[in-house]
Structure 1
Amino acid sequence: MGRTENARPIGTLIARGPSLGPPTDPVGSSDTQPTSSDVVVIGGGIIGLSTALFLAREGLSVVVCEKGQFAGEQSSRNWGWVRRMGRDPRELPLVVEAMRLWGEMETLVGRDVGFRRAGILYLCENDADVAHHQGWIARAGAYALDTRIISGPELARLLPGAARTFHAALYTSSDGRAEPQKAAPAIAEAAARDGAVLLADCAVRSVETSGGAISAVVTERGRIATKRVVIAGGVWSSQICRTLGLRLPQLGIRSSVLRTAPIDGGPEGAAWGPRFAYRKRLDGGYTIADGSRSLHDVVPDSFRFLGDFLPILKREWRHMRLGFGAPLVDGLRNCLRGPEGAAMAFEATRTLDPQPRQRQLAAAYAALQQAFPVFKNVPVVQQWAGMIDATPDAVPVISTVGTHPGLVIATGFSGHGFGIGPAAGRLAADLVTGAPPIVDPQPFRYERFIDGTRPQPTTGV
């Protein structure tokens, strides 16, 4: 995808290396690393970049350090859904703010990132599915807004070309979609225009403290003096926290996706079903995935955090597959290297680029073609996978850390990071500056994972 007309280069454009990931809009990288900054953000995904944007607009000097390319990992590899429907009730106040910001996104960043309120459906096969979704409406309360159960002709109108009749669906007309390969790069460019310094291919090796408080960040290019750091490293965040002696239970979930060539006559919005999920793209094609099964590649942290994740594993075991292979071997090798192993891993893996599960994608696409014959003979343009940063309760950490003054953690979005990203960045920025937070940050506190609180994952949709 090329740069749009009104985008302006900042510094040197960094070319993407070989990757299975989708091509993103280019983002400029500064040629020079500052020696000091008010805030250093570790991680150049949508969370870190949104944080940087709001901090820069408050007049703070901000440096964003990204070990690879901006939005090179999950921020450009997700489904592109922007939804309130089905969220954990603890997230709903933040999601409402995120939906508001998405509605203002073109003005906020000066570019169309493909946000459209095209509606999202969760397809129901039977009455049990309907009852399950009605339970979410009850839990959401006033936050359910326009979400409702639909069926019959109303549902059929939202599924043009469907070869079968679906029992019912949970539907939110105000939910929508946006383009992951455009959104985070546009936020990055906006942050740079407001003064943020963006550093691609710049891994952070350590965070220094003095008297227990943050004092500097050391990158592969040198030292940046700072009193405030935001860790927004996605699936890498737990490893970064470990270099500071912090225990953050977080694991990666591999999610595979494909995109099709443009087609005419398909459904306009997005939908999830037991065997497939789809989302119409701005280019006229579709992003397609299996909405029911995920893969966890076993790593040393899988054993370290097993007790933390047992509640959610017991609930989701039917939908989870385990992989044993290179990630486990590489993780064990880094553990044997000690603290230096983490820094080596950050620099050795510039872009986490897992292999997509092609058989799973083929089955999902076949199921979609059976339900919607319009997709038959439509070629697959690309397949890729990304790594979701999951927490034991599937709720993110957006939090200060009492033992480390000046540190804010923003990670563990558990597959919700793209849609919630702008508001999560705003909340992280509020925590950095001490401004009144956009929403109550209590549900996202880091300490819930170290103070004996039992993880409480809610029943998902």
Structure 2
Amino acid sequence: MDAIVIGGGLMGSAATFFLARRGLRVVLLERGRVGTGATVASFGNIRRSGRYLPQLPLAHHSRALWGQAQHLLGRDVEFRATGHVRLIFGDKGLADMRRFRQAAQPWGLELEEMDAADLHRRFPGLGPTAIGASFSPDDGSGNPRLISPAFAEAAVRLGAKVVEGAEVLGITPTDAGFRVETTRGSFAAAQVLNAAGAWGGRIAERFGEVVPIRAHGPQMGVTEPLPHRILPVVGVWAESGHGGYLRQVERGNIVFGGGVTRTEVDLDSGHAHYDFARLPAQLASLLPILPALAGVSVIRTWSGCEGYVADELPVMGPSATTPGLFHAFGFCGHGFQLGPGVGDVMAEMMATGRHLVPLGDFRIDRFAQAA
């Protein structure tokens, strides 16, 4: 094999596809089932507003790939460019939005500012006490349950191999690259991509690269169907007492998250849970965004194991200690939009050594330099 990808979430499955598309022989190793970790727990948000500014080139590249996803993968992954609205409820939120809007323009992101009258005319029922909002018309959402399997299946059609239930037991450098021992056997390749999500830090540590990363579980839920009235994804320029985010799927259900703290997750089990004691506070945080949620039934809640790096930035790029080893993990709950771009960028780097976008701020050796 030319490459082994460890981790079958969105980053790993996309990298597998783009490696195979470039003609490399690649095997994807997933400890469980493809797409059942942090990816499936995602809200499905495809947004660029509010991002760390040097991350925007990657976000732009990824947004372009989301637009091509159905053509690339041969199936509808429910990407919808419905737009992304972020409500403003006070002076601090307004100042934060305007500061970001101005700073993001040189990075190629244009946000529209709406005042209260414009917001309530264009999106009636949203944020009745909001004083304004930002609007990013080309962003939107995708289906977290579809995207990773779609990338993996498309990769297999290109000749890649996908092995599920393959927990990594050991990784050994060899003269020809690496040998990876798993519960499903031994695999060898010239290069390895560590896309193991919250477990990525454990793999990096095997090679003397320590990353301060912790696992947390987002608090997600979905309501009974309501009359369809909300087209864009909706979030908030957060201030005290306001938070959360939501979107309405085509069948009418409201998918929601945020507004409360995340749970701690034990990496040994990898089991993340929704804390039902937090549901009343979470729903209360959503009512200023969408008062129509009052009295609506929540029909399902869920969580997942996400990796959060101490400086809230991901790890992306080559290992600083081991030639042929690459990392793409720790996306701090903000990786869904970035996933296709991360896969393409890492595949290009592994295949040619080229960088499609700047990644300097995401180097793994930033932690060693700070020590």
2:70 matches 1:106: yes
Q: Any residues of structure 2 matched to 1:201-280 within 5 Å, and which?
A: 201-210=165-174, 214-273=177-236, 274-280=242-248
Deviation readout 1:347-368 (Å, 9 max, x if unpaired): xx4xx33111223233222443
Matching residue of 2:339 = 421
Q: Which amino acid aligns with 1:264?
A: P
Counterpart contact for 1:156–1:165, Cα < 8 Å: no
Instruction: Name the CA distance, whole Å, in 2 between partners of 1:64 and 1:380.
Output: 36
Q: Any residues of structure 2 matched to 1:49-448 within 5 Å, and which?
A: 49-143=13-107, 145-162=109-126, 164-210=128-174, 214-273=177-236, 274-291=242-259, 293-295=260-262, 297=264, 327=266, 345=268, 349=269, 352-369=270-287, 372-448=290-366
Instruction: Name the CA distance, whole Å, in 1 between partners of 2:139 and 2:311.
Output: 23
Q: 3-state DSSP class of the match of 1:161?
A: coil
Instruction: Name the CA distance, whole Å, in 2 between partners of 1:159 and 1:358.
Output: 31
Deviation at 1:234, TM superposition (A): 0.4
Instruction: Name the CA distance, whole Å, in 2 between partners of 1:260 and 1:57.
Output: 39
Deviation at 1:165, TM superposition (A): 3.1
Deviation at 1:267, TM superposition (A): 1.7
Q: Which moved more, 1:40-49 or 1:362-371?
A: 362-371
Instruction: Name the CA distance, whole Å, in 2 between partners of 1:395 and 1:163.
Output: 30
Instruction: Name the CA distance, whole Å, in 1 between partners of 2:322 and 2:43.
Output: 35
Instruction: Name the CA distance, whole Å, in 2 between partners of 1:394 and 1:111.
Output: 33
Deviation at 1:129, TM superposition (A): 1.1
Instruction: Name the CA distance, whole Å, in 2 between partners of 1:370 and 1:152.
Output: 14
2:1 matches 1:40: no
Q: Which amino acid aligns with 2:252?
A: G
Deviation at 1:163, TM superposition (A): 7.3
Q: Unmatched 5+ residue regions in structure 2?
A: 237-241
Counterpart contact for 1:179–1:282, Cα < 8 Å: no
Query: Against the structure 1 CA distance between its residues 171 and 405, is the aligned structure 2 distance closer, same or farther, given a 3 Å change threshold?
Result: same
Deviation readout 1:338-387 (Å, 9 max, x if unpaired): xxxxxxx4xxx4xx331112232332224434653433443322101123
Counterpart contact for 1:84–1:175, Cα < 8 Å: yes
Deviation at 1:44, TM superposition (A): 0.3
Of all paired residues, the percent bearing the same amino acid is 30
* Number of residue-to-residue matches in the alignment: 366
Instruction: Name the CA distance, whole Å, in 2 between partners of 1:163 and 1:237.
Output: 39
Q: Unmatched 5+ residue regions in structure 1?
A: 1-36, 299-326, 332-344, 454-461
Instruction: Name the CA distance, whole Å, in 2 between partners of 1:130 and 1:240.
Output: 42
Q: TM-score, normalised by structure 2?
A: 0.92
Q: Which amino acid aligns with 2:44?
A: G
Q: 3-state DSSP class of the match of 2:215?
A: strand
Deviation readout 1:48-72 (Å, 9 max, x if unpaired): 0000000001111111111111111
Q: 3-state DSSP class of the match of 1:104?
A: helix
Counterpart contact for 1:238–1:248, Cα < 8 Å: yes
Q: 3-state DSSP class of the match of 2:218?
A: strand
Q: 3-state DSSP class of the match of 1:450?
A: helix
Q: TM-score, normalised by structure 1?
A: 0.75
Q: Which amino acid aligns with 2:344?
A: R
Matching residue of 2:239 = none
Instruction: Name the CA distance, whole Å, in 2 between partners of 1:278 and 1:107.
Output: 28
Counterpart contact for 1:254–1:388, Cα < 8 Å: yes
Query: Against the structure 1 CA distance between its residues 104 and 285, is the aligned structure 2 distance closer, same or farther, given a 3 Å change threshold?
Result: same
- Runs of at least 4 residues of structure 1 off by over 6 A? none
Deviation at 1:433, TM superposition (A): 1.3
Q: 3-state DSSP class of the match of 1:118?
A: coil
Q: Which amino acid aligns with 2:98?
A: Q
Deviation readout 1:178-214 (Å, 9 max, x if unpaired): 1111111111111111111111111111110136x84
Instruction: Name the CA distance, whole Å, in 2 between partners of 1:67 and 1:206.
Output: 13
